[in-house]
Amino acid sequence: MKSRHKRLVLVGGGLVAVIAAVALVLSAFRQNLVFFFTPTQVVAKEAPTGRSFRIGGLVETGSVQRDAGGVTVRFVVTDTAHEIPVVFSGPLPDLFREGKGVVADGKLDTEGVFRASQVLAKHDENYMPPEAQHAVDQAQKAAQTVKP
Amino acid sequence: MIPEFGQLALIVAFCLALLQGVLPLWGAARGDARLMAVARPAAHGQFVFTALAIGCLGYAFLAHDFSVIYVASNSNSALPWEYRMSAVWGSHEGSLLLWAFLLSLWTVAVTVFSRSLPQLLLSRALGVLGLVSAGFLSFLLFTSNPFLRLLPPAPDGRDLNPLLQDPGMIFHPPLLYMGYVGFSVAFAFALAALLGGRLDAAWARWSRPWTLAAWVFLTLGIALGSFWAYYELGWGGWWFWDPVENASFMPWLTGTALVHSLAVTEKRGGFKNWTLLLAITTFSLSLLGTFLVRSGVLTSVHAFATDPRRGLFILVLLALVVGGSLLVYSVRAPRMEAGGRFGLLSRESMLLANNVALAVVAGSVLLGTLYPLAMDVLGLGKLSVGAPYFDTVFLPLMAPVVFLMAVAPFVRWKGDGAGRVARQLVWAAILGAVAAAAILALVANAGWRSALGAFLAVWIVAAAIRHLAQRVRAGAPGAGLATRLRRLPLAYWGMWLAHLGVAVFIIGVTGTRSLESQSDVRLAPGETATLGEHAFRLAELRQVQGPNYSATRARVEVSREGKPVAVLEPEKRMYHVQRMPMTEADIDYGFMRHVYVALGEPVDDRSWILRLYVKPLVGWIWGGCLLMALGGLAGAADRRYRLRPAAAPRAASTGSAAPPASPAGAAARV
């Protein structure tokens, strides 16, 4: 083991460690990408089943219901073209309102109900979550192209 | 009149920044001492005028000058004065002004505390700082002027975002920005060294305290932000892997690597190019942080002020700083001679491992933060990277770093024997393993993460105590214990405390993760809910009036096995001006646990949803951060950074003549 060999071991070992780390990062990265789908896309069965994704749109007016215990909430997210029923357990964010923008992470169950693990509504009355805005814009664009 | 005065002050500051940025660099290139001498007065003048500008803005807030757009959009006549002051940095324009002001503050600090520096190096560093400042001031003047008038004036302001009406707002942004901006000094020193083509141990000794100081501010800023999110957002979490949090965490990671790499550059003259690259990267990531927060391109709780045009300007600024500095690096860096050789097991190889791992972690955080943004910009679809990604990646990458952290202080520079090092750590390893086994046996749902956390925390503490004992034993013969402890250099205490802080932090994280209990319950006044050993009785609900909000306040009596523990009063506030609800959690802060109650929403006329937490050891998370910051402070205050060159103890401080490189520095060069 002369110094040249030592250096080789050092560089080689370091390289192996870095490659392992990068492999770990990339595989974790692939598994945790959360894709965004609009309610229209979910209805068109473009969203994955059994994997988490994110939906966005407006909370439909009059759709928010609490179950008897009061902790579980049901509401409907709409992009003005299609609706998705959502179930969520836990306290909703302060700015969650009917008719306002909302973004939710979760999975679709077999009955087509979106089981949300997290509900986000932004801390600003005038601010629309970009994803929710995007969903509504897409739906309205589609509606305009269909009409004529 | 006052806002126009502030505007004028900004313009003068911008001109001075240009002078400070151009003339000294030019002078350094031509060897013209008169041009280089411009740097110092220009920096002082710039400080005076940016201070004037931020003072004028503060005055406009205090005096309720709603003819200024920025004041009208971020303040209100009912806003308490302390939040009117902090509203200065409550939004985009003001926080950039704070950035520019803090940069001039750091620059003045450099001119004051670095009198013994060679004039060439100092004027180059000040020149670089001047250029950065000119970039930011032009950004302020051309795209984000905080002094723009509103005609006719608004009768009243739109109020500060209620989320920001909190003591955290007074301290968190200035601390964080002090950290971000502070790394500009390390950056400027790095570029000055590159331009001069000379980087020696003396250079590292000058850079180290500045880097440590910036690192301390950033650590405190991040910790305070995390604590603020913990008690204010009402979700009980302390870190969300939110893009804005990541934006501050990335420069922290590379800054931590820089602090360690500078140690090798100072002691052994090694890692020179790497140190320079880290200094450039850290400051670039600080700029990127500003860009991410202030352009509003990311879906994030911090994205209040959204304006993509400004984002573009920052992007150009970022490209100039990163591109320009990397260009200088690529042209000049090969001239830096390599450092001393070192063995497979040596202090150098330990610190190298630390640096590589921290860089990989920073890279993985960068990937997770920027990838969704890049996909969105390229029109390849909307996606986000879930928090589980960061959790999955962070733990396996950081665990080896933390493991080696306990080993490194025992390993000698240049090379050491594995057997010698291992013998000293046997006990720490045994104690760590016992702790891990105890956690697995005693805590019902403890997994491998909890066991790993327990092992690492005990391993670090045991190794640190052993190392301290060794240092004390090696102290001056005949001296008492207290004397020996006192004679240990501050830099050693700094390392010791910061590493201990990591252990305390790990205890906090592990304790909270494995022992926390949480419940969402529906309670009407008079009803009680239990969570583990704690009982929560909702005693009453009442309406209260704040200065600019009305609130529902609950009185929750917490008891443990029948004995009263605390009375908590969480609120749900409704701010009048912005019609925005806010959850104000209430917490019983205990050394060993926090009891945390937040009001959810009303279910019917009588009952509310309450979120209850008992969080064991959670306070240790921030305690650990405080210890780390304290360690950094001790390191920065070490005597050897304050020593003036022995040959010119006082004469150098006049600053007019360029003192030769310090003899101590020349001697330490390898």
What are the pLDDT digits (tens) for B497-516?
A: 999 999 999 999 999 989 99
Q: Which of B282-291, B336-345, B624-633 has the lowest mean pLDDT?
A: B336-345
Q: Which of A42-51, B363-372, B394-403, B560-569 has the lowest mean pLDDT?
A: A42-51
Which is higher by pLDDT, B392 or B477? B392
For residue B655, pLDDT over 70 is answered with no
Which pairing describes strands A83-89 and A114-120: parallel, antiparallel, or unpaired? parallel
Q: In this structure, are strands A33-37 and A53-59 parallel, antiparallel, or unpaired?
A: parallel
Kindly identify which residue of chain B lies nearest to residue A5, measuring between CA atoms.
B344
Using a CB-CB cut-off of 8 Å, the residues of chain A touching B601 are 91-92
3-state secondary structure of B563: strand
- Interchain contact, A10 vs B163, CB within 8 Å: no
Q: What is the mean pLDDT of residues B31-38?
A: 92
In this complex, do B609 and A71 lie within 8 Å of one another by their Cβ atoms? yes
Q: Is residue A100 located within the same domain as residue A128?
A: yes
- Residue type present at position B266: E
Q: Total structural domains in chain A? A: 2
CB within 8 Å: B382 and A131: yes
Average pLDDT value for residue range B162-172: 90
- Of the pLDDT bands very low, low, confident and very high (cuts 50, 70, 90), residue B185 is very high
Q: Work out the average pLDDT over A76-98.
A: 86
* pLDDT number for residue B662: 37
pLDDT value of position B278: 96
**Do A26 and A81 sit in the same domain of this protein?**
no
Do residues B411 and B346 make contact, with C-beta atoms less than 8 angstroms apart? Answer: yes
> In this predicted structure, what is the pLDDT of residue B335?
67
Chain A residue closest in CA terms to B352: A14
Find residue A47's DSSP bridge partners. Answer: none
Contacts of A122 in chain B (CB under 8 A): 299, 301, 303
Q: Are residues A71 and A113 in the same domain?
A: yes
* Residues of chain A numbered 32-71 and touching chain B (CB < 8 Å): 32-36, 52, 54, 66, 69-71
Between residues 96 and 115 of chain A, which touch chain B (CB distance below 8 Å)? 103, 105
Q: Please tell me the predicted confidence (pLDDT) of residue B298.
A: 56
Q: Which pLDDT belongs to residue B480?
A: 84
Residues 6+ apart with CB under 8 A from B29: none
- Residue B535 scores a pLDDT above 90: yes
Q: Name which of B393, B518, B571, B575 to mutate to probe chain A: the one with the most chain A Cβ atoms within 10 A of its Cβ.
A: B393
Q: What is the pLDDT of residue B663?
A: 36
Residues A103, A105, A108, A109, Cα dihedral to 10°: -120
Average pLDDT over residues B195-212: 90
Same domain, A46 and A112: yes
**3-state SS record for B511-524:** HHHHHCEEEEEEEC
**Cβ within 8 Å, pair A134-B382:** yes
Partners of residue B599 on adjacent β-strands: B610
Q: Are A73 and A119 members of one domain?
A: yes
pLDDT band, very low/low/confident/very high, at A3 (cuts 50, 70, 90): low
Across the interface, whether the CB atoms of B299 and A103 are under 8 A apart is answered yes
Closest to A21 (Cβ–Cβ): which among B385, B392, B397?
A: B397
Count Cα atoms within 13 angstroms, Cβ side, for B582: 25
Mutation for testing the B interface, residue in A3, A10, A137 having most B CBs under 10 Å: A10
- Point out the residue among B381, B607, B611 whose CB comes nearest to the CB of A70: B607
Spell out the SS3 assignment of B349-393: HHHHHHHHHHHHHHHHHHHHHHHHHHHHHCCCCCEEECHHHHHHH
The answer to whether B385 contacts A32, with C-beta atoms less than 8 Å apart, is yes
Q: Which domain holds residue A10?
A: 1-33
Helix (H) or strand (E) holding B610: strand B608-616
Residues A74 and A10 in one domain: no
Mean pLDDT calculated for residue range A66-79: 84
Q: Round to whole Å and give the CA distance between B486 and B166.
A: 40
The crossing angle, in degrees rounded to 10, of helices B272-295 and B201-232 is 30
Distance from B393 to chain A by nearest Cα, in Å?
Answer: 6
Distance of alpha carbon B594 from alpha carbon B587, whole angstroms: 6
Residue B406 has pLDDT above 90, yes or no: yes
pLDDT at residue B647 in the model: 39
Question: Is residue B460 predicted with pLDDT exceeding 90?
Answer: yes
Query: Cβ atoms within 10 A of the Cβ of B575, count?
Result: 23
| Mean pLDDT, range B237-256, rounded to an integer | 91
Percent of chain B at pLDDT > 70 equals 92
For residue B428, give both structure tokens: 């720490």
B264-278 b/e with 16+ CB inside 10 Å = b? bbbbbbbbbbbbbbb
Chain B environment of A10 (Cβ under 8 Å): 344, 349
Q: Which two tokens stand for residue B5?
A: 């005065």
Partners of residue B613 in chain A, C-beta under 8 Å: none
CA distance B514 to B505: 14
Tell me the mean pLDDT in the region A81-107: 86
Asked if B104 contacts B43 with a C-beta cutoff of 8 angstroms, the reply is yes
Q: Do A26 and A79 belong together in one domain?
A: no
Which residues of B448-577 form beta strands (DSSP E)? 517-523, 528-531, 534-545, 549-560, 563-568, 571-575
| Residue B119 in this model has a pLDDT that exceeds 60 | yes
Structure confidence at residue A93 as a pLDDT band (50, 70, 90): confident
- The answer on pLDDT for A5 being more than 90 is no
What's the gap in Å between the CA of A125 and the closest CA on chain B?
A: 7
CA distance B449 to B455: 10
Within 8 A of B583 by CB-CB distance, chain A residues are 94
The arithmetic mean of pLDDT across residues B463-474, rounded, is: 93
**Shortest Cα–Cα distance, B482 to chain A (Å):** 41
Note the pLDDT of residue B112: 92
Sign of the CA dihedral running A41, A43, A49, A51: positive
- The minimal CB distance from B343 to the residues A6, A28, A125 is found for A6
Mean residue pLDDT of chain B comes to: 88
User: Which pLDDT does position B143 carry in this prediction?
Assistant: 86
d(CA B595, CA B588): 5
Q: Which of A55-59, B322-326, B502-506 has the lowest mean pLDDT?
A: A55-59
Q: Which residue of B has its CA nearest to A134?
A: B382
Q: Are residues A40 and A101 in the same domain?
A: yes
Looking at the predicted structure, is the pLDDT value of residue B212 above 50? yes
Average pLDDT over residues A69-79: 86
Whole-number pLDDT of residue B651: 36
Whether pLDDT at A134 is above 70: yes
Q: What is the mean pLDDT of residues A131-145?
A: 74
**Chain-chain contact of B522 with A71 (C-beta, under 8 angstroms):** yes
- The whole-chain average pLDDT of chain A stands at 81
Residue A94: closest C-alpha in chain B: B581
Q: For residues B274-282, give the mean pLDDT.
A: 95
pLDDT at B441: 92
Closest chain A residue to the Cα of B584, Cα to Cα: A94
Listed in order, strand segments (DSSP E) in chain A are 33-37, 53-59, 65-66, 72-78, 83-89, 101-108, 114-120
Give the mean model confidence (pLDDT) for residues B641-665.
42
Contact B254, B281 (CB under 8 A): yes
| Contact between chains at A25 and B393 (C-beta distance less than 8 A) | yes
Residue closest to B113 by CA, chosen among B643, B662, B659, B664: B643
- pLDDT value of residue B439: 92
- Does residue A123 have a pLDDT over 60? no
pLDDT above 70 for B299: no
Q: Does position A125 have pLDDT exceeding 70, yes or no?
A: no
Strand partners, B595: B588, B614
Residues B367-394: what's their mean pLDDT? 84
Query: pTM for the full model?
Result: 0.91
B581 → closest Cβ in A17, A69, A94: A94
pLDDT one-digit tens code per residue, B54-98: 999 999 999 999 999 999 999 999 999 999 999 999 888 898 999
B436-455 pLDDT per residue, tens: 999 999 988 788 999 999 99
Q: Residue B513 in contact with residue B450, Cβ under 8 Å?
A: yes
- The pLDDT of B154-160, averaged and rounded, is 89
- Tell me, yes or no, whether A71 and A116 share the same domain: yes
A122 Cβ neighbours under 8 A, 6+ residues apart: A95, A101, A128, A129, B299, B301, B303
With 60 as the cut, is the pLDDT of residue B531 above it?
A: yes
- Looking at the structure, tell me whether residues A14 and A43 fall in a common domain: no
Judgement on whether residues A48 and A1 belong to the same structural domain of the protein? no
Q: Over pLDDT 70: what percentage of chain A?
A: 86
- pLDDT attached to residue A140: 77
Token pair of B503 as six digits: 């252990």
The SS3 call for residue A83 is: strand
CATH code for the domain in which residue A114 is found: 2.40.50.140
Residue B505: what are its φ and ψ, rounded to 5°? -60, -45
Q: Which of B219-228, B262-271, B290-299 has the lowest mean pLDDT?
A: B290-299
Residues B344, A10: C-beta atoms closer than 8 Å: yes
- Bridge partners of A89, per DSSP, are A72
Which residue in chain A has the smallest CA separation from B577?
Answer: A125
Q: B167-196 and B2-30 are packed helices; what angle lies between their axes, rounded to 10 degrees? A: 20
For residue B490, give the nearest of B481, B501, B502, B498 by alpha carbon. Answer: B498
3 state SS of B593: strand
**In this structure, are strands B571-575 and B549-560 parallel, antiparallel, or unpaired?**
antiparallel
Q: Do A35 and B163 touch (CB under 8 A)?
A: no
Is residue A20 domain-shared with residue A46, that is, in the same domain?
no
How many angstroms separate the CA of residue B273 from the nearest CA in chain A?
17
Evaluate if residue B539 carries a pLDDT over 90.
yes
Supply the pLDDT for residue B225: 93
pLDDT value, residue A135: 76
